[in-house]
Every structure is written in C-alpha cells, then in structure tokens.
Structure 1
C-alpha cells in the first residue's frame, strides 16, 4: 500500500536540496578555481567546469619553501593536542559523571564559565605566559594554549555520553567476575568509543583551523601552521594581483587532511552523535 506525500513534505525536501547546494557550492568553487589559470579566473565570464585545466597552481603550492614545514607543524600540533585532550577530557568526564566528591559542582561551573569567556580577552595573558616560559614559536607552547581551550569543551561534550551509559552494566560485569577495570574496558569503554570519536572530530577541527592564537604565538615563517601559511601565501604579487588559483589550490590541500580524517571516523562519528541522546 503506497502513501502519498503531502505537499509540505515536498516543499521541505526542495528547501533541503537548495540548502545543500548552497552549502556545497563554495567548496565546489574552491576546487574548480584551483585548476584555472589567473587569466581565466579574472575573466568576466565564469568557468563552471575546469575542462583543460592546469596543475600549475598545485605545483606552485607544493614548491613553496614553507608549505611542507607548515603542514608538518599543523599535523604535529593537532595530533599532540588531540591525544592529550581526549585522555584528560575523558577522565574528567568520568569523574564528574560517575563520582561524588567535594567541589564537583564548582568544577562543572568552572568548565561552563571557561567556555563563556571570549578567547580574545586572554590573548595578552597567554602570550606573556608562553613568552615567559620561552615557548614562543614552539609546538609545546601552542599545544599548551590550545589544550586550555579545547579540553573544557570536549569534557562537557563527553559528559553527556558517559552519563548515557548506565553504571549498572559495570556492576553486572563485576558480579560475573570482572574487576572494576575489566568491567570498564570490556563493557563501558566500547559503548563510549563512538562518543570519543565524535568529540575528537570537533576538537580536531577546532585546532586544525585555529588562526588567531597561532598568529600571536607563531611569528616565525619556519614554525607557522597551515592557516598562517595560507594568509602569507595569499599576498599580492609584484603586479598587485593575488594569484587566486594558487590560493584555492592551497585551500584545497588544507582541507584534504580533514577529509581523510572524516573518512576514517565517519561511521563511529554517526553512532556517537546519536548515542549521546540515548539513555540505557
């Protein structure tokens, strides 16, 4: 038996398609422009499909003297920050969700207040602190500052996932002969893994795309991250023109690690995004 769709559902589907196209168009235009020459890009007639395009823009990016060092800097900072953040945020989420201790409410309130503070208000203090430690233009200095901003958000996000897994499951496993650690690793942790992945994705994006703090703490061309490199790379040439094709090629290469990361974790992330709303 077939059911007819109401006109309202057709309108909703049409609006969803329009919004999806509007969201995807800038990405398409970035990739499309990365294969076009400067003459074609500056032409008044838009080129929608890069037939006969060129790889010259990508060659210019890859031959830039600081691109590879900036890529390595971004990968190192993001990887170290992500691992440390997930470890401490996960332990903190377990503490505030499963255990009763003095100062628990104050800790939760502090986490909320930290997220409410505008990042720009702490730039000067953070710069002076890192400068005093002699960690300017270093991976360690930037990682420390990034952790202070990413851990509270990740901890708060993980708290919902931890609260969604009943503690009765661990108790049942302990009755069956498991120790507390075995019960956690065999029963609870697999259920929390999708939440860790989903939280890790948001932390990854926050660190990978961060620009403002990096521009203050990383002032040397040899220690800049990819967003800083792209800012410097997009400077006007001697003729006063910006090579937009090269800029778009650099932006595309900047997005590739994010796409690869999503390809690896998309299944777990989908489970995690809905898992935090399910109570056992």
Structure 2
C-alpha cells in the first residue's frame, strides 16, 4: 500500500511541477531566467512581469474570451441536454442514425473545415465577431457533450420518474424534480469539458478572429517578437499564469457541485 501511496505522490509532484515552474518563472527577471543555473525559489522576485502584461490589449482579449466561452457553454449545454434526454428517454425514427452521426462528426479533422468555416463566416459578416466564433465552438463541442450527457441520463433509472408519477406528479414535474437534480453532476462535468475546449481553443480563433483576439491569440503575441528582440520569458510565464487563473477559479466554484446532485431528488420529501 505504501508503494502505491509513494507512486501517487510522485505522480502528483510531476503533475504539479510545471504549474509551479510557470508561477516561479513569472516572478523572475530575464537575466535570472536565462542563467545556466535554474532558480527553483523566487527569492527577491517581484510582480513586475504581471504589471507589464496587464495592458489594454489583455483586457480586450479577456472580454472576447469570456464572452465567447460563456455564450458557447450555455448554448452547448442547452442543446446537449435536450438531445441527450431525447435519445435516452424516447424511441423515434432516426434515433440510431442520429447517434451514429454524432460519433462520425467526432472523426472529422478540425483542420479540414477551416476553409469552409472561414467562407461561411465571411458570407454572414461574422468574421472577428464573438457570435461567429461562438457558433463554430458550439458546433465543435456539442456532439461530444451530447454523448457525455447521454451516459448520465441513461444511468438514471426510469423507474424513479415512474414512481413519482404514481405519487401524482406529471411527467414533466417528475423529470424536473427527480431526474434533473440527479443530472447535476453530468451537467457540471459536461460544462467543464465545454468550458476548457472553448477557453483554450486556438486554431479556429486564429482563422476567424482577424481583429478581435482571444486570450490564446493574445498569449501567442509574447513569443512572436521581431528577429532583433529577445523573448521576455518572464512576461510569457506571467501571461500564461493570468490565462490559467479563470480556469482555476472555475474549478474551485464547480468542484463542490460535481457530487452534490448525486442523490438529490431520489428521496421523496
């Protein structure tokens, strides 16, 4: 048992070290980072790198990323929720074909769609537009989100709803009071997946967002210096840490909710 515990500790340290190194480097100057001797503890470090990257360009990119991510996640969860309930609770013509289509869509390489996506957004006047990028993100994320939620819906016994209907509830009331609370962990897990996909996405934004930059595109600007200008790795690390902060905050908010709905609603009050 102690060997497994030691292995788990080693894996945890290996997983956390890159994050620590990013934060550590963000507090060091360029001369220290470029030294042949690594600095594992930022003694004498400062927050100057953070102050230098918090420019108007950052806040503009932050606004774009937050807007696109929140809009995409909300629409994606709505569509995925309705679709997963439909294919799990009802039998209708074309159901199997719909499920197979969802799987086939996952096999399409994103790079093969760039030209079509660009022309479509250009014809609609949605280039460099939050709505246009959100539409593409929803289309890319919703198939897998449907597949995730389908597993959660299928795992909830239909007998729970039937028992509630025997007690006098309508089908809609039984679903809202019994099944929906039990789906909370699935909705949160699917929302986390959709959030990460939209927040960190780079290639589609690079093609579509010609003027308005998202945070990944803004972050790329720190390593696209001119040939005569050295890359300031301290600022790169500080910018990377700032981009990661919203993700960390998001996980802190939702991690307690991922298990809160596991048994909620299954007990009649």
TM superposition score category, shorter chain reference: over 0.9
Q: 2:181 aligns with which of 190, 198, 201?
A: 190
Aligned residue for 2:51?
59
Q: 2:109 aligns with which of 108, 115, 118?
A: 118
Q: 1:170 aligns with which of 147, 161, 164?
A: 161
Encode CA deviations 1:168-192: one digit per residue, 9 max, x unaligned.
Answer: 1111111111111111111110000
TM-superposed CA distance for 1:11, in Å, is 2.8
Q: 1:232 aligns with which of 216, 221, 240?
A: 221
TM-superposed CA distance for 1:236, in Å, is 2.7
DSSP-derived class of the 1:40 partner: helix
| Runs of 4+ residues deviating >4 angstroms | none
Q: 2:230 aligns with which of 238, 241, 254?
A: 241
Number of equivalences: 263
**Structure 2: stretches of 5+ with no match in the other structure:** 264-269
Structure 1's 53 and 238: CA in aligned 2 closer, same or farther, altered over 3 A?
farther
Aligned residue for 1:134?
125
**If the length of structure 1 is used for normalisation, what is the TM-score?**
0.90
Q: 2:258 aligns with which of 247, 264, 269?
A: 269
TM-superposed CA distance for 1:123, in Å, is 1.1
Root mean square deviation of aligned Cα: 1.5
DSSP-derived class of the 1:268 partner: coil
**If the length of structure 2 is used for normalisation, what is the TM-score?**
0.94
Aligned residue for 1:3?
none
TM-superposed CA distance for 1:47, in Å, is 0.9
**Structure 1: stretches of 5+ with no match in the other structure:** 1-8, 276-280
Encode CA deviations 1:34-59: one digit per residue, 9 max, x unaligned.
Answer: 00011111111111111211111000
Aligned residue for 1:278?
none
Preserved contact between residue 60 and residue 246 of structure 1 (Cα < 8 Å): yes
Preserved contact between residue 165 and residue 191 of structure 1 (Cα < 8 Å): yes
